[in-house]
Amino acid sequence: MGYGGKLHEQHRARELRAEAWTLAEIAAELGVSKASVSVWVRDVEFVPRARNRGHRSTKPHPAHVAKLAEIESSDRWAAAAIGALSDREFLVMGTALYLGEGFKTDGAVGMANTDGSVLVAFVAWLRRYFSIDESRLRVRLYLHEGLDLDAAERHWSELLGVPRTQFRLAYRAVADPSRRRAKHQFGCPAVTYSCSTTHRRVMGLVRAISCTAALPG
């Protein structure tokens, strides 16, 4: 399907991130987009290292090495267990994803998530099974004040394949230190496609999969 990216590049990106490579450096090294790299290495702690005349340290922390090895092993196991999804399996997967994460209000289909891979899968599913008008896709960012809105919009536009001209005015949140200190660098986007017919068909799939799951084995 293509939306999950190549496993070799993902593994190599994680290794380089653990060695304190920046997103831009990894993207240039692997010949992929910076947005893809950002998604692949989001679970790898990044600790900037001091540079010495252009040379970087090549000794990652042992904990990072062990973590990356476990992730790679898990990815290999999962790839062998799942294999390539058939057309029907992808339809069911997307429907289950929408059941858990999608907007249920009539008139539009949509989803919000900070995880780029979730939204990429949703948009790929939407484009594959429904005759959508690309010009009607909309994205609205929820982004804390002080974070780079321009960079965030460029990130999500590239990742989702939605032009920035179709981004709505972002919501800039004021951080509340008493509730949450961590902030998502690129915010939380909501992807929306306004179409009552599409929404009703999606909800029909959701009801179908819910009823099937409720049937006794």
Give the CATH number, domain containing residue 145: 3.30.1330
Residues 110, 48, single domain; the answer is no
Q: Which of 82, 115, 137 is the last residue of a domain?
A: 82
Residues 138, 36, single domain; the answer is no
Residues 120, 184, single domain; the answer is yes
**Which pair of structure tokens corresponds to residue 188?**
């939380």
Quote the CA–CA distance of 156 and 148 in Å, as a whole number.
Answer: 13
Residues 124, 148, single domain; the answer is yes
> ∠ at Cα 195 (191, 201), nearest 5°?
100
**Which pair of structure tokens corresponds to residue 17?**
């991130």
Domain that holds residue 149: 87-214
Residues 77, 178, single domain; the answer is no
Residues 29, 56, single domain; the answer is yes
| Counted domains in the chain | 2
Quote the CA–CA distance of 100 and 78 in Å, as a whole number.
Answer: 21
Residues 107, 52, single domain; the answer is no
- Sheet containing 137-144: give its strands across: 108-112, 188-194, 137-144, 171-173
Contact 194, 111 (CB under 8 A): no
According to DSSP H, which parts of the chain are helical?
Answer: 7-18, 23-30, 34-40, 62-82, 87-101, 116-129, 149-160, 196-214
In a domain, 1, yes or no: no
pLDDT confidence of residue 189: 96
Q: What is the pLDDT along the chain (217 residues), one digit of tens a residue?
A: 444 446 778 888 888 888 888 888 888 888 888 888 888 888 787 776 655 444 455 566 777 778 888 888 888 898 889 888 899 999 999 999 999 999 998 999 999 999 999 999 999 999 999 999 999 999 999 998 888 999 999 999 999 999 999 999 999 988 666 555 556 788 999 999 999 999 999 999 999 998 877 666 5
